[in-house]
Structure 1
Amino acid sequence: LEGCRWLDLCTGTGAMGAEALCRGASLVVGIEQSGRACAVIQQNWQQVIRDDQRIQLIRGDIGQKLPTLAGQNFDRIYFDPPYAGHLYEPVLQAIAHHQLLTPVGELAVEHDPTLHTAETLAAFIPNSALELCRYKRYGNTAIAFYSRR
């Protein structure tokens, strides 16, 4: 991940962004709605950040905040919403619409495999702008990895 630009959506505790920083990401941007979570994220990221790295934490509704990143590109996007929520479709559409993923980037979508499959998630992506490149299952959690076509 050395030098990559990382976007962490529904950031939670910030663990994935912190790991990206530890592995050399040059930029980590997170979007999280919870103010309490944002305080934890900021603290976690500050513990691992180096002088040559940048972080940006955006607090607010992901549907409103994600379009503000239009014009930026990310090498890795990690999306871990509440599994039973209704964020998958609008967020995946926004990622594709705003072309937030670099041409060689990768989008990881964490989900409950009993609620979604890689195919049902891909159906939310307009014009088949992204294609499934890997799929991993870890018990009750699955991660579908997509790249640009």
Structure 2
Amino acid sequence: MSLRIYGNRQLKTLPGQETRPTLAMVRSALFNIWQGTIADCRWLDLCAGSGAMGAEALCRGASVAVGVEQATRACAIIRQNWQQVANETQTFQVLRGDVRQRIKALEGQQFDRIYFDPPYESDLYEPVLEAIAHLQLLASDGELAVEHSSDHWSAVTPSKLEICRQKVYSNTALTFYRSSI
């Protein structure tokens, strides 16, 4: 399977149900919301899947993209996709492993935009949002977008983060956070 991103660029995805690419409608809406803030930003893509969100950020001028993904085959696809779209001034890194463990390797770094898209029925939401807050991964003027089901969501609000907006797109929703300190 393949998908297209900004500039009509085609990306690879894994076959089957191993990953769930973010719908084009949701991807487009997110980048419209964050329009004007992607160029030169530091981007973190958690549960990156095919890396489409990070690839889109790189296409729109992000200076750094870091992805965390558990599936080995998906990590190879992310690297291929990001290599295809990144220019010589942009850097990217893909970390393989459980997001709850790998996120700790990012301590001391800050990101302007964070996109977190775990499997909807997973138990990852609370521990990962808590880790983002505890490790202070979100820059003071940054935003974090969490993709989740619009049907089954209990908003998690760690100390140091606050919800600043929510958007619903059919069965998918995005909850946006910013730093509260």
TM-score interval for Structure 1 and Structure 2 normalised by the shorter chain: over 0.9
Q: Which whole-Å CA distance do the structure 2 matches of 1:64 and 1:134 have between them?
A: 28
Q: Which residue of structure 2 aligns with residue 146 of structure 1?
A: 177
Q: Which residue of structure 2 aligns with residue 41 of structure 1?
A: 78
Q: Which whole-Å CA distance do the structure 1 matches of 2:172 and 2:69 have between them?
A: 20
TM-score by length of 2: 0.77
Question: Post-superposition shift, 1:135?
Answer: 1.0
- What is the correspondence of 1:1-149 to structure 2 with a 5 Å cutoff? 1-117=38-154, 120-122=155-157, 125=158, 127=159, 129-149=160-180
Aligned-partner SS, 2:49: coil
Say whether the 8 Å CA contact 2:42–2:62 is kept in structure 1: yes
Aligned-partner SS, 2:39: coil
TM-score by length of 1: 0.94
CA offsets 1:88-132 (integer angstroms, 9 cap, x no match)? 011000000000000000000000021104xx222xx1x2x1111
CA offsets 1:30-77 (integer angstroms, 9 cap, x no match)? 000001111111111111000000000000111111011000000000
* RMSD, aligned α-carbons: 0.8
Letter in 2 for 1:140: N
Percent identity for Structure 1 against Structure 2 = 60
Structure 2: any 5+ residue segments left out of the alignment?
1-37
More relative contact order, 1 or 2 (CA 8 Å, 6+ apart): 1
Say whether the 8 Å CA contact 2:43–2:64 is kept in structure 1: yes
Q: Which whole-Å CA distance do the structure 1 matches of 2:169 and 2:73 have between them?
A: 28
Letter in 2 for 1:30: G
Letter in 2 for 1:130: L
Aligned-partner SS, 2:156: helix
Q: Which whole-Å CA distance do the structure 2 matches of 1:136 and 1:47 have between them?
A: 31
Q: Which residue of structure 1 aligns with residue 11 of structure 2?
A: none
| Aligned residue-pair number | 143
Letter in 1 for 2:173: A
Q: Name segments (4+ residues, structure 1) moved above 4 Å.
A: none
Letter in 2 for 1:19: E
